[in-house]
Amino acid sequence: MNHRIAFVVVVLFANLLVAQNTQNQDSSPFSRLRGIDDGSSFNRPTLASPVDNAASDLQPQVQYAFTLFQFPGVDDTIAFGINDRGQIAGGYRIAPGLRHAALFDNGQLVPLAPSTALARHRSTAFDINNRGDVVGAYVDDQLVPHGFLLANNVLTNLDFPGGFSTRGLGINESGAIVGDFLDAAGNLHGFRLLNGVYSQIDFLGSVLTQTVEITNAGDIVGSFGPDLVTSHGFLLTREGQFITIDAPQGVPGGSSANGINQRGQIVGGFTDDIGNLHCYVLTAGTFTSVDLPGVPFNQCVGINSKGEIAGGAFHDDGGVTGYEATPIPPRAH
């Protein structure tokens, strides 16, 4: 595995969109699936200053308790979005089978839509809102990749017009969805789906853009790459400003922004100078480290309004164990 920027959500967990009988051979930070662009644009030309990273160290002032998602007979678990009820969207795998979309709810693994293609083929759930609406991605019976929305037990495909593959990555309380899709050249673009209308999102000057989460107010976080080997996080404000986010201890061009809650806290990841993957929480300009102790490769993707984080720990054999990181209240003096 190329650990330098493998924390980008596309690489770590999203190979699922490749047809089941093929292998994704690209080592870039973004999956290289094929697609086509319909030309619709949501480009945001206004750039704001990057987040101030003058402080060279991540702050350790918040401590976390970690709960691992391990179940009898289940080989891998992955965790992405988390809502305010503590429900976590992700997936699981029982070797030698494929990964399937699931929720982790009150310590239980709940397979999603077991009578649909989510259970018959490769699938992953990426986010869940407080109403229980879930977005993700899967391959259908003809091995064609799609994004999906699962709401009120109804499975609806998400397909960017003209795109080869689409993934639903984030959903807010009003049902606005963000995700990504691939164009005919294999380039990755972000999108927003609002009131049935798809809008393309591209970070100015980038060749790869991924939009991962959207707040109720319309702020969006994601990652972009000006080339195939570089990644930066970003915040796209509701006013249309892009703000670059780079973790202070990460290698240059080795950061991502993966989730945002209604309080404006952002969770993401970075690669250090020896290739290990780490998690951070960005609160009011301050970066706080969030790593499962003793694990060199961590991925944090979702954060809810309580500051609870969904993430995963990667093993040397390529397996992954999902977890929830819960802030520990400071002791009263």
| Residue at 4 is within a domain | no
pLDDT at 205: 86
Tell which residue, 17, 21, 331, 61, has the closest CA to residue 168.
17
Could you tell me the two tokens for 138? 């899967």
pLDDT at 316: 81
CB atoms within 10 A of CB 278: 24
Cβ atoms 328, 322 nearer than 8 A: no
pLDDT at 58: 57
CA–CA dist 223, 204 (Å, integer): 12
CA–CA dist 229, 247 (Å, integer): 17
CA–CA dist 58, 52 (Å, integer): 13
Tell which residue, 257, 231, 289, has the closest CA to residue 5.
231
* Residue predicted with more confidence, 187 or 87: 87
Lowest mean pLDDT among 41-45, 207-211, 298-302: 41-45
| Residue at 1 is within a domain | no
| Number of domains into which the chain is organized | 1
Residues of the chain with pLDDT > 90, as a percent, come to: 71
pLDDT at 299 over 60: yes
pLDDT at 31 over 90: no
Q: Which amino acid is at 204?
A: L
- CATH number of the domain encompassing residue 207: 2.120.10.30
- Beta pairing class for 88-93 and 99-105: antiparallel
| Residue at 266 is within a domain | yes
How would you classify residue 58: left for phi > 0, otherwise alpha for psi between -120 and 50, otherwise beta? beta
* Residue predicted with more confidence, 9 or 174: 174
pLDDT at 318: 78
pLDDT at 315 over 50: yes
pLDDT band at 22 (very low <50, low <70, confident <90, very high): very low
Residue range 161-183, pLDDT digits in tens: 999 899 999 999 999 999 999 98
Environment class of 171 (CB within 10 Å of its CB; exposed 0-12, middle 13-18, buried 19+):
buried
| Residue at 2 is within a domain | no
In the predicted model, what is the mean pLDDT of residues 301-308? Answer: 97
- Ranked by mean pLDDT, which of 32-36, 49-53, 87-91 comes out on top? 87-91
Residue range 67-95, pLDDT digits in tens: 999 999 999 999 999 999 999 999 999 99
- What is the chain's mean pLDDT, rounded? 83
* Full residue range of the structural domain in which residue 47 is found: 9-328
In the predicted model, what is the mean pLDDT of residues 9-23? Answer: 33
Residue range 224-265, pLDDT digits in tens: 999 888 999 999 999 999 999 999 999 999 999 999 999 999
| Residue at 28 is within a domain | yes
